[in-house]
Each structure stands twice: as C-alpha cells, then as structure tokens.
Chain A
Amino acid sequence: MNKDLFQNRYNVVRIIIVVFAAIFLLRLAYLQLFEKKYDKIAFDNAIKEVEVYPTRGLVYDRKGELIVYNEAIYDIMVTPRLAKTADSAKICSLLKVTMEEYSGRMAKARQYSTHKPSVFMKQVSLEDYQRFQEAQYLFPGFDGQVRTIRKYPHNCAAVILGDVGEVDDNLIKSSNGYYKPGDYVGQSGLEKYYEKELGGTQGKKFIYVDVHNREQGSFAEGKYDTAARAGDNLYSTIDIKLQEYGEQLMQNKKGSIIAIEPETGEILCMVSSPGYDPNLLCGAIRGENFKKLVFDSLKPLYNRATLATYSPGSTFKPMVGLIALNEEVQGEVYTVPCNGFYPFAGLSLKCSHHHPWATNIEYALAQSCNPYFWQTFRNAIENPKYDHIQDSYGKWSDYCRSFGFGSKLGVDLPSESRGNIPSVNYFNKVYGEKGWHSSTIISLGIGQGEILVTPIQLANFYAAVGNHGWYVRPHLVKTLQQVHEKKDVKPEMKKSYATIDTRWYVPVNDGLRQVVEAGTATESKIEGISLCGKTGTVQNSHGDHHSVFAGFAPKDHPKIAIAVIVENAGFGATFACPIASLMVERYINDTVADNRIAKQQKMIETNLLEKYAQGKNMPITNGHH
C-alpha cells in the first residue's frame, strides 16, 4: 500500500511540473503569437525619428559679395544621470568654470531632466571645444553639439536682411508638426520673406537609441531615411558697398534712402536710419538685444523705407504736371503769373520765393513754383471734358495709381505700407457729393493734403519717370540658387505701364534736369552726371519740415533712381539733395570727387538726434490729420 502511495506522489509532482509548464506556454503563446502590440512598442522604444536639419541658404549682394553666412557654434550638453563619474575638476579647468558654477549648471540640467541631455554650456570657443573632444572619454554624460547661427559680416542692412529666431507656438501649431520648439525660422526681412527658400526642407532619419536615449547607429541601414534639402542661396539686388555708404551718410539722422535700378526694378540699397548691427540678434545674445531694440524710442527695428508714409510735397509736382499735359488741359508752354501771390477763390496763396514768371513747365519745376502747380492741378480738375468733379478727380487719381501710388508695390519683404491716394468716395463722404471743388482739395496740387507715399513708392515713381512711363516692381532678390537641384531660378519680372503718353516725359524730365542744373538744387550738381530730380520740403505737424529729394540719373537711360528723406531736417536742398547726389555719384562713378569730400563729411557728421530728443512724441508716420 505504501508503494502505491509513493507511486501516486511521483505522479502528483509530475503533474505539478507539467501544469506550470503549460501555464508558461499558454502565456508565451498569448504574448508571442496572439498579442501584436508588443512589436510596435519595442519598435517605438528602440527606433527614434530624428530631424535632419538642412543648412540655411547664404545671401550674396549684387556683385557676389557674401553678406549672410552660417557660423558653427559649439554647445556642451550634459545628461546628469550619466555624468556622475565625470572628472568634474578636469572639465571645470577645461571650460574655465568654477566648481560652484559647475554644480549650479548641473542643478539646472537636472531640473530639466536627469536622463535627457540639456545644454551645460552655450557657445564655447572652437579651441575649447576641440580640447573638450580630445578628453571627452573622461566625461561620461557630456557631449558636444554643433549648431549654426547667422553671421552678417558687413554689420549693415539689418532691416532688409532681417533676423532668425526661435519659432513661436502659433507657427508650430500651423506647421502640422514640421516645426518643433527650439527650431529656428526667419523673423523679419529677407530671412522671413524667403523662409521657405532659405530654410530648405528638413530630412528624417531613423536611428536606434538605447535606454539612455543615446544614438546607437542607423535603422535598416538608412533605408527609410530622407535627406534634407539644403536651403537656396539668395543673390540679392543690394549693392552692399552702396548700402554701407548710405548708412554712413544717414547716421545720427532719422529717415531713409532707397535706390532702384530703373531698368530692372532692382533695389540697390535700402537704408532705414537709425539702423542696428544685425549681429546683435544672433545666437545667445538675441533675446536681450531684441528687448532693447523694441523699446528704443528711435525705433531701429522699423523699416522706414517701406513702412513710413510721408506727404510727398514738391517731389509730387512732376506727377501733377504729367497729368495736366496728358489731359491736354495745358501745353508744355503755359504761363502762370507769379508775383509771389496767387489769387485763388478769394484766397491769396503765397509762392515760396520771388522769381520771374514761369512760362513753361520746365521752368516751373526748376523753380518749384507753387502757384504754377496749383493752377495746373485746377486745370486738370476743372477739365470741361468731364461733367463732374467726381469724374475728373477720379481720372486724376487713377493716373497716380498707375505709378504704384496708393497700394503696396509688392516688395519682397514681409510688410509694406500702402500710402494713400484719397478716393472719390472719400471726398464725397467728407464734403458731401456736391460739397467739394478744386479749391477744396487744392493742396494736392503741391503734394500736400491727404496724399501719403512711402519712400519706396517715391523712388519707384522717379524710376518710372526716368523710364518714360514704365517700371518694374521693386525687389531685393534677383536669383535663387537652388543648391540641391543645381540650378538658378530668377523670379519673373514684368513691366508695369503708367497711363501717361510717353511724349510728355520729355518736357518734365527737362524740367527735372533744370532743377539740379539751374533751379533749387544747383548745389548738388555732379560733374559729368546728368542728375535729374526734385527737392521737397515737406510740411508736417510734428516739428520742422522733412527734407526730401527724389530723382534719377543719368537723364537718358537712367542707371539709378533714388529717394531720400531726412526727417525734420528742413529744406530739401540742405540734406536730402546732397545725400542723394553723393549716393548717385558713388554708385555711378564708384567714388566721390575730391571737391565733394567736404560735403560728404558734413553729411556724415551732421547729428540731428538731439533735435529729435527735444521734440517729444514725434511719431514716425507723418501726414495730415
């Protein structure tokens, strides 16, 4: 009986073993044969998708000079949990930090994460970085990371080039996962406008990472990886030497210079003063400097050349003349008696100075005779061809718009102002349909009143006048060099035609030539260059008049059209005109004649900042209210 019992127990033990083995096999069958989720979990554990960042495109000026490039910077990263055995004394001496700083930085990194890398030290020098790399085996948990920041070797053209900064939450959300926090994108200027081209396209690679998130080689030999597409290089229309010169002339003054090549619409320079060194907004120092610039009362971040709007003043007179000639309400030869006073609708309007009667438009432009253009404007508005002022003024404003006034020109920058050409509806609203006459809006005749223009619209107008009636949309980039596809792409540029017959430019341009040769701007004559243009002394409600000059040169087949505005500087002939003539000379002759060096020095040395400081609360946008 005993034997039987033992035999029974042998079987019990065998059954116990078999039952447990069966449980194990069922469990394993469930895990390995039926439950499929573990495959994906293991994959997600071990394989990480990493963005491959493209190199950002470079920017060259019109002569091929490099004006924006990337500079490598070196960050030291630390993963605190792995750094426990690092030789801290050695790393301190290597990176020139004290032990206290070391613990401080470590504490900060630990606060972020103990097992994920974060920045231990930003932007160490290349020499320090190389020494770190040689000794890196002594510092487990420490690693180097190379990043690039933008560099602007010429320290100028900040508002054109713009800046690059960390992407904001809105863009991250709208990018469908393309951008991640910490990515860099253009924030202003060309960097922003051409973000898509300069930024290139991120690639992806799949890598193995271990439990500490360290890279352990590529997955499937890179079969699923996509390469990054490098950003395009931009060939800008800017002449960086001219730009530097312009910024020099405008230093310590508020205002702008904009120069355009009339034949192509290429912007040769765009100065907004005061400016700032674009390198201030690069890398680690960006945040602090950005704050300073935002709160600077002189608004250095504001691009006056495309955003500020001014009354054009006398620089608008060629427009008024061209319309009257085209409408044939008066001929090239036409006399307005001017004894200093202009009797008009019971008012006595005063000419700015005494001069012989103007008997033709050339002389009227040369003398900038206000009564002449009041009369000219009145002739166009009271044109018997039209029954109502709404029709005649409507036609008049259409002429203005055909030169690009009153709407955005479409410059390749993130933002631009429209300026203002008041509409018929506007006057109907203000005065009632029957309540306005040529006398009501007479100040338009001399470029005052509701008309507002941006400096770039003004320069564009003079380019069109120089071209005898057409212009090309002003732009800053002429070629996109697609590094990846190895081809150059030129944005298509079309001519826009103004609605003035070409023959009327002959007398007007003769007049603009006379301005410099024998009129209000004789001081700014340039030996050997037939500069044409018009001075302006623009009334505004905020202090002294703005000094304005706009023109082009040479008279036939102009190479440069230019507009200069120096805020609150007085007569056009005193500042804007000499600055414009120096710019033109410098551009065409590549140098400034000896006898004009003194003038150049005077312009450079003039400092109006104190004057601005006295007239408080002067807004940058000027005009009539």
Chain B
Amino acid sequence: MRNNEKFTGNIDWLSVLIYLALVLIGWAAIYSAVYTEGLSPFNTVGRDTTVNTGKQFQWIVASLIIGAIILIIDGKFFVTFSYAIYGIFIPLLIGVMFFGAISHGQRNWIRIGSFQMQPSELAKFTTSLALAKYLSTLNIDIRKWKDKWKAFAIIGLPMIIVMVQGDAGSAIVFVVFALVLFREGLESYFLIIGGSVIFLSVIALVTPKLWYLWVVFLAVAGILSYLNFKNRQLVYIITGIALVASVYVTGVNFIFGHLKSHQKDRINVLLGREVEKGKDWNIRQSIIAIGSGGAIGKGYLQGTQTKLKFVPEQSTDFIFSSIGEEFGFAGSFLIIGLFVGLLMRLMYLAERQRSKYSRVYGYCVVSILFFHFLINIGMAIGVAPVIGIPLPFISYGGSSLLAFTLLLFVFLRLDSQRLEVLR
C-alpha cells in the first residue's frame, strides 16, 4: 500500500531518536536516584507512591505503544475532533476535583488499578489542539481584539481550573502559549510589556531604596523628553511610561512587604538573598550536587548528594541535579544540547507545514517543552523560581511521560502528513 510506505518515510526520525535518547537517559537517571545495592532496574515491588524504576519502565513501554498507535491513526482525527476533545476534557478536569483520588496531597488524580494519572498533565495537550484549531480557522486574526479574547479564553479556562485544583506549577505553564500567539502575529508590545513587567518586578525587589528607582525613571524620562521636546505627543508618552513604571514598582514592593513569610522566602531564594537556614535547603543541595559533579561527574551511581538523599525530589523535580552530579558538565551539556536540538528541529518542522493547524500545534509543542525545560533545569541550577514541574521525558512519573509523548507524537504524525491538506 502506498500509505504504508509513506508512513515510515515521512516520519521525522531525528525527533524520534532524540525522544528515545531522553527517555532512556531519564530511566537511567531515575534508577541512579533510587539505587541501592542489588536493586533491579525492573523492580516494581513497593508501595504506589514510592519511586521505582520497574514502574517507569512499564510507563515507557506504554508510551511507546501509544506513540506507535498515534503514528497509525490518521492525523485528521485530531484536527476534526480538536474542540470535541477539549470540550470533553474540561468537565473531566473539574470532576476529578470532587471525585478523583488523592495523591501527593492533591485530589486531582484518576486511579485505574495500580496506575494513577493526573488529567492536568493532559490539559496542555487538549488546549494545544483547541488553540491550533481556533487559530487555523479562516478569517481569524489574532491582532483583532475580538479574536484575541477567544484565544485567551481557550488558554485561560483550563489554566484557571488547574490553578483551582491547587497545582499552581502546572497552571503557570499555560502562560507559555503567549509564545505561540506571538508567532502567529500577536503584537510585539505584548512581549515587550511582558518582558518589562518581569524586569521591573525584579528590580523593584532588589533595589535597596524604592525612591532610587523613581529618581532613575524620572531622570531618564526627563532626558528623553528634553531630546524630543519638539514632539509633544512623544513627551507625554515618555512621561506617562515613567509614571506607570514608578507606580508599578511601588506596588510590587508593597505587595512583597505584605506576603506571607514562606512566599517571601521563595522570592528571596530566587534573588540569591540570605534566608533563614533551611529554607533554601532544596536549591542549595541541588546546586551542591551539580557543582560537585565537576567536568565529567562522579560516575554513574556514584553521586553522594543524590544517593544519600540530600537532594529532595531527586527523581522528579530535581532529576537534573542527579545527572549533573554523576556526569558533570559533559552530562549537563548533553541534556541541554538534546533539548535545544529537539526544540530547533520541531520549530523547523513547524515552519515547513502547509497547514496552519499543524504549524500552530507544532509551536504549542515547542513552547510547552521549552517552558518545562526552562523552569525545571533553571530551578535545579538556582536561576529560576521553585516551581515543581517535571523535566519532559526524563522525570519520573507516568502521567507526564504519557502526556508529553502524546503531545509530541501527534505533531510528528501531523508532520508526516504535511503533504496532504489537513483542515
């Protein structure tokens, strides 16, 4: 059959290879994190909540099967049922808040037999489908406010539900869809304003005295106004921006002053400030683990920081520190290289799509993977806030592995059908 030849021929095997490499590295890293002498990597004995590599292996096999199935299913299925899948998923997401199983202190799990699964992991996938469907609709222009709001709503609805479930980390991930909108034409000032807000927030928190900032803002505005004194409209705008910035930093400073102490500590840790002993324990131990890895690491299964449990959550949120400790800068470089390689490859694939749906979906995949990569590794090396989200394909956990596999392979399937017209 002609279809079958095309099936293997059109799959982007490079992406699949990087995917497999990351999954296997993850499995090995998890084994190292929980290693005790004589432990089999296929061991599945143990309570449900404990990390074990045998179970992760089962998840890997399950993911590969699901990936294969997706590559067989016609990509049109996802295009056609995008809204339907998104629509069915919203009540499911709400439902688990009331009827779901409790695990890790949160009632947002579905339990089937001995396996449990977090639907919020899948929400990113369903949102990607819906967003791709919407933006690829004829006559939709993201630069128009009426269309913009609808796009925001598609992203915001699951985000708010996940937030209400108490999983703030997973909710924040939805912010990254802004990158997709940007690619599809969202005005640059959204990115500029977004960047400015982050920049101003940081300087508002690190400044020793608030009025220093007021003085600087007004001085800059004054100089710029003087240089452009002929263009009255521009002077108004400059002055307005300076005033807004001053008010904003004052507000941030005020809010920080009224935060609860544990929230303050998190921000202080992030800013590299001294906090009460023990509050920044996790980050410090992770940095020690990575730093002590040196150029080539302590060797596989030789990491003391992870093996002796100094680094907490070492097989999930802090899996990168285990790799950094045992394989050093070389290992860290490899992981970052694989991720950047995958992201670049996926973007290249996205850009070559004829179908706008496929391109938007591709950017959704890139953005989600990028955000997880950014926060998870950034947290482990102490340059990003402490948000407990997994490192795609590597961290322990079935839900996230299945969700990321689904996310990626649907795009690979769409890409393999790029010569057909998908709508």
> Which residues of chain A have a CB within 8 Å of any CB of chain B?
5-6, 9-10, 12-14, 16-18, 20-21, 23-25, 27-29, 31-33, 35, 37-39, 41-43, 45-47, 208-212, 216
Contact = CB atoms under 8 A, between A and B. Distances in A.
B329 A38 contact: no
Contacts of A35: 291
Interface string B123-143: 000000000000000000000
Contacts of A209: 308
A312 to B, nearest CB: 68
B171 interface: no
A14 B336 CA distance: 15
Given A10-B183, A14-B347, A45-B310, A208 B304 contact: yes
B310 A31 contact: no
Contacts of B307: 216
Contacts of A45: 285, 288, 304-305, 308, 310
Dominant secondary structure at the B interface: helix
Contacts of A31: 287, 290-291, 324, 381
B308 A18 contact: no
B336 A42 contact: no
A221 to B, nearest CB: 13
B392 interface: no
Contacts of A5: 185
A261 B150 CA distance: 111
B294 A25 contact: no
Contact of A27 (B292, B309, B383): B383
Interface in B174-204: 179, 182-183, 185
B289 interface: yes
Contact of B294 (A27, A33, A46, A211): A33
Contacts of A37: 291
B190 to A, nearest CB: 12
Interface string B323-350: 0110011001100100110011001000
B378 A17 contact: no
B368 to A, nearest CB: 13
B377 interface: yes
A424 B290 CA distance: 81
B383 to A, nearest CB: 6
A249 to B, nearest CB: 63
A21 B338 CA distance: 11
Contacts of B332: 25, 28, 32
Q: What band does the interface of chain B fall in when counting residues whose beta carbon is under 8 Å from A?
A: 35 or more
B333 A28 contact: yes
A451 B339 CA distance: 97
A44 to B, nearest CB: 10
Nearest to A30: B291
Given A6-B183, A31-B287, A41-B288, A24 B347 contact: no
Contacts of B409: none
B329 A32 contact: yes
A12 B190 CA distance: 14
Contacts of B289: 42
Given A38-B291, A45-B288, A32 B308 contact: no
A208 B307 CA distance: 10
In the A-B complex, list the 10 residue pairs whose CB atoms are closest, starting with the nearest: A38-B291, A42-B292, A46-B304, A210-B308, A32-B329, A31-B291, A38-B292, A211-B309, A28-B332, A21-B340
B287 A32 contact: no
Q: Which of B285, B308, B351, B381 has the most CB of A within 10 A?
A: B308
A46 B324 contact: no
22 contacts: A5-B185, A6-B185, A9-B183, A10-B183, A10-B347, A12-B182, A16-B179, A25-B333, A25-B336, A27-B382, A28-B324, A28-B332, A29-B329, A31-B324, A32-B293, A32-B295, A45-B304, A46-B304, A47-B304, A209-B308, A210-B308, A210-B310
B383 A32 contact: no
A208 to B, nearest CB: 6
B370 interface: yes
B102 interface: no
A238 B295 CA distance: 67
A211 B333 CA distance: 28
A212 B312 CA distance: 12
Contacts of B183: 6, 9-10, 13
Given A17-B344, A31-B381, A39-B294, 8 more contacts: A16-B179, A17-B340, A28-B324, A35-B291, A38-B291, A41-B291, A45-B310, A209-B308
Given A28-B333, A45-B305, A14 B344 contact: yes
Nearest to B179: A13
B55 to A, nearest CB: 23
Given A13-B183, A32-B294, A208-B304, A24 B336 contact: yes
Contacts of B347: 10, 13-14
B57 to A, nearest CB: 26
Contact of B309 (A9, A25, A43, A210): A210
Interface string B225-244: 00000000000000000000
Contact of A32 (B291, B310, B344, B370): B291
Contacts of B310: 45-46, 210-211
Contact of B292 (A17, A41, A211): A41
Contacts of A10: 183, 347, 351
Contact of A38 (B182, B287, B370): B287
A329 to B, nearest CB: 85
A5 B18 CA distance: 30
Contacts of A208: 304, 308
A210 B363 CA distance: 43
